[in-house]
Amino acid sequence: MEKIILNKVAEITVLFWIMKIIATTLGETLGDYIAQTLALGYTLGILITLIFFVVVLVIQLYAKKYIPLYFWLVIIATTTLGTEISDFMDRSLGLGYTYGSLILFTGLLAILLIWYSNYKNLQVYPIFEKKKELFFWTAVLFSNSLGTAFGDYLGDVAGLSYLQGALITASIIAVVILLHYFTKLNQIFLFWIAFVFTRPFGATFGDFLTKPRDNGGMDLGTLPASLISIVLISILIYISHKKHHQKMMKESL
């Protein structure tokens, strides 16, 4: 009997983007909680989040089909690890947000070019093949790290408040949505623009929730903000699971 290979990634819907934004917010607040609130530092923070990333990525790669919990745990892991990588480059290595962003942007372009040279497309849904899925997750990690660096760039270099940074990145995402619906621009190109910019939106919004009021934040603290995001993403993962199950049931009829 012929082996059936099932899709491994989430369908790109409105729910996907809502979950991506919450996951990126969680990645920012949780990454800051590990490195700053617990005072473990960025090097140890990278080690902890890297272990988490590798574990959930292996589980995702060896799953036979798309399972929302596995998929979104990897997304959360990339956003958290991306926070630590970006902060380590910018602060511990002293590269600064400008050079850090340029390095990560170059890395993202490189992996997308390698992906394209292998498959002649950058299609993100559906994905069946494990090698292509590895390209996808590598690009996701680079884009989330880049988004963190760019979000910090808006605040620390451009001098914007956290709320202003969130509004600017939200405006860019809104423009991409309009381009998606009202132009014939390449949809995969628009996807990656939106994917990158949802990360600084989540990063700046996460900073807005956690930073002191004197710095333009709400001063909720990294742990409470992380717990709120965990509750929200858990609810949405459950909703995503129910929707995916219902879709599979309809397709099987």
| Domain assignment present for 187 | yes
Please, which residues have CB within 8 angstroms of residue 20's CB and are 6 or more apart in sequence? 75, 195, 198, 202
Q: What value does the mean pLDDT take over residues 235-250?
A: 91
Q: What value does the mean pLDDT take over residues 163-172?
A: 85
pTM: 0.91
Q: What value does the mean pLDDT take over residues 243-251?
A: 86
Average pLDDT, the chain: 89
| Domain assignment present for 5 | no
- Its domain, for residue 79, covers 14-252
Please, which residues have CB within 8 angstroms of residue 219's CB and are 6 or more apart in sequence? 210, 211, 212, 213
| Domain assignment present for 133 | yes
Please, which residues have CB within 8 angstroms of residue 135's CB and are 6 or more apart in sequence? 111, 114, 115, 118, 119
| Domain assignment present for 9 | no
| Domain count of the fold of the chain | 1
| Domain assignment present for 4 | no
| Domain assignment present for 3 | no
Looking at residue 215, its pLDDT comes to: 74
Please, which residues have CB within 8 angstroms of residue 69's CB and are 6 or more apart in sequence? 237, 241
| Domain assignment present for 119 | yes
Please, which residues have CB within 8 angstroms of residue 196's CB and are 6 or more apart in sequence? 108, 143, 146, 147, 150
Nearest to 152 by CA among 208, 108, 213: 208
| Domain assignment present for 2 | no
Distance separating alpha carbons of residues 171 and 173, to the nearest angstrom: 5
